[in-house]
Amino acid sequence: MMQNKQNSLNKRLKTYFIHSIVTFVVIVTFLLILISIIGNSYNQIVLNITKANENILTFKHDVDYALYRTVIGSANNWDTTFDKDIKDPYKTIDNMKNNMIMLKSMTNDKDNYTRIENIIKRLDSLRNMADTLYDRSQKKGFYDENMNFLELNVYILTELITNQVHEYVYYEAAHLELVRKRLETTLLVTIIVGLLALFVSLIHLRHMNNKIKESVLIPIQDICNATSEIGKGEFINISDEKYDYEVAILSSSVNRMSKEIKRLLEKTKSEQEQLRLRELQLYQAQIKPHFLYNTLDTIMALVESKRNEDAILLIEQLSSFFRTTLSGGRAKITIKEEIEHVKSYLQIQQIRYQDIMEFKIDVPFSLYDYLIIKLTLQPLVENALYHGIKQRRGKGLITIRGLEINSDEIEFQVIDNGIGMDEEKLNGINRIIENKKPVSNEIFCLRNVNQRIKLNYGSKYGLRIESKKNLGTTVFVRLPKDI
């Protein structure tokens, strides 16, 4: 069938004047060159994006985990380690650097070229840090210093490298829009040239022009429309069964590009979900073992003193506390469940600290069915107890209050009448909970809660702290109504 069409076209071409044939050949040649250039542009960008993403998903974890095991002294010989989860950090860094060097040779954009150079420099710095950490880990008595070096230097640098690679991918994808605009401009010029050729050619050239539109221009316009939809987030697939070979290459490239961008976006979304999960797991791991030990000791003391009812109550509250902490792996629970979790925690602590602590919960039932990120209030209550109430003389009071700010938002207040803090310390804490640098355990729970809220709901939500020295502290938690 294709052969018959080609033969028919050849017969028709023989009937045209020489200048018409030349005009037609020039136009078709121009279009083929255009298709080739556009196809190469798309292929190059897709290749760059694919190359940039090799190993990036596990890079930070592999390097951080291997160097962490080095610090704790359980992985010093990468060739003989029995832990298959530990990967040689030097090989990981070198593989990433080799990918970046190869990518550097293929990158045409000046800004992205600079980004690749910065990534390579940071990879060199990371390798030097790994050498330093390895040497220091061989010496005894530097565990704390090594952990600080790991957290303040290695973890931050691996995150910077990961973020810069993602930034490179983002801008490479953005260049696709520029390619699309160039394609539209070139198409406009081509159409104008074609129209001029029609006016100076015989009437038969109009018929050939229609054939060109059917075989080349319309498919390219379909591809333009497809790339426009891709730019809007609609990842459609272009059928190339009816296209000529060259256009099929372009449409195939667009399809691959569309699938690749969609995959990358899905991976990014998945990484964000994994990040939230890891942050939650990190905080859950921070629940100090002595809380459980002390609670069990208290239960034993109650049983030995024949206070069986109090012991049963404490066991029930401890069971409720850890049941909500696990909650079937859910990231969000109802406000009612969160309040019950806080209540269980406070009742346990009240039995242990009955001489120094009382609590009051004032949350209207109308808020109970809304969702809240798990472990939002309990860390704040724990912070109020250990860094507020326990530091004062005499009995203290912790109040948990909930209220509707407006039709779309909720505010919780965790109030204690503990020792409070001066304005300088308060301002320092408010600044620290907004950044990502490593902090002490005292502030870690506050920042963890604040960042999880912002990741889930946006920057307008989170924590705000007010405090007066020797009067107490109030932590305000602003949240949307989440159903």
- Residues 270-282: pLDDT tens digits? 776 666 556 555 5
Instruction: Please give the average per-residue pLDDT across 425-440, as a whole number.
Output: 76
> Bridge partners of 351?
none
CATH fold of 291-480:
Heat Shock Protein 90 (3.30.565)
Rounded to 5°, the CA angle 396-401-402 comes to 165
Higher pLDDT, 224 or 429: 429
The strand pairing partners of 463, in sequence order, are 477
Answer for the pair 205, 45: CB distance below 8 angstroms, yes or no: no
Quick one: pLDDT at residue 263? 79
CB 204 within 8 A of CB 16: yes
Q: Looking at 6-15, 222-231, 348-357, 442-451, which range is the least confident one? A: 6-15
Supply 287's token pair: 């629940």
Does the pLDDT value for residue 80 go beyond 50? no
- Over residues 138-156, the mean pLDDT reads 82
Most confident listed range (424-433, 441-450, 471-480): 471-480
How do residues 346-399 score in pLDDT, each as one tens digit? 888 888 787 788 999 999 999 999 999 988 998 899 899 988 898 887 889 999
Q: How confident is the model at residue 438 (pLDDT cuts 50, 70, 90)?
A: low
For the entire predicted model, the pTM comes to 0.44
Q: Which residue has the higher pLDDT, 189 or 343?
A: 343
| pLDDT greater than 80 at residue 407 | yes
Which of 393, 35, 369, 360 is closest to 224 using CA atoms?
A: 35
With a cut of 60, say whether residue 344 has pLDDT above it.
yes
Write down the pLDDT at residue 12: 41
| CB atoms closer than 10 angstroms to residue 392 | 16
Model pLDDT, residue 5: 40
Question: What residues are paired with 373 via a beta bridge?
Answer: 332
Mean pLDDT value of segment 317-337: 75
- The domain spans of the chain are 2-278, 291-480
Q: Which of 69-83, 122-136, 304-318, 333-347 has the highest mean pLDDT?
A: 333-347
Percentage of residues in the chain having pLDDT higher than 90: 15
* Paired tokens of 254: 């667009």
- Please give the pLDDT value at position 267: 79
The mean pLDDT of the chain is: 76
Distances in Å between the Cα of 450 and the Cα atoms of 418, 458, 472, 474 are 22, 11, 20, 15
- Asked if pLDDT for residue 417 goes beyond 80, the answer is yes
Q: Which of 401, 315, 411, 413 has the alpha carbon at shortest distance from 361?
A: 401
Structure token digits, residue 124: 């060199």
The Cα–Cα gap between 475 and 459 comes to 17
Cα 367 to Cα 19, 321, 331, 458, distances in angstroms = 80, 21, 18, 21
Q: Distance between CA atoms of 28 and 209, rounded to whole angstroms?
A: 10
Answer yes or no: are the C-beta atoms of 151 and 438 closer than 8 Å: yes
Q: DSSP secondary-structure letter at 482?
A: B
Least confident range of 116-120, 142-146, 380-384: 142-146
Predicted local distance difference test score (pLDDT) of residue 478: 96
* Whether the Cβ atoms of residue 479 and residue 412 lie closer than 8 Å to each other: yes
User: Mean per-residue pLDDT for 238-267?
Assistant: 69
pLDDT score of 426 more than 70:
yes
If you average pLDDT over residues 295-309, what whole number do you get? 73
Residue 340 structure tokens: 């019950």
3-state secondary structure 247-296: HHHHHHHHHHHHHHHHHHHHHHHHHHHHHHHHHHHHHHHHCCHHHHHHHH
Report how far Cα 144 is from the mean position of its chain's Cα atoms: 30
Taking the C-alpha atoms of residue 164 and residue 332, their distance in angstroms, rounded to an integer, is 31
Of 269, 412, 231, residue with least CA distance to 339: 412
Position with higher pLDDT, 260 vs 419: 419
Q: HSE on the CB side for 158, CA within 13 Å?
A: 25
Max mean pLDDT range (38-42, 114-118, 366-370, 427-431): 366-370
Residue 239 has what pLDDT? Answer: 62
User: In the prediction, which pLDDT does 203 show?
Assistant: 66
10 confidence band (pLDDT: 50, 70, 90): very low
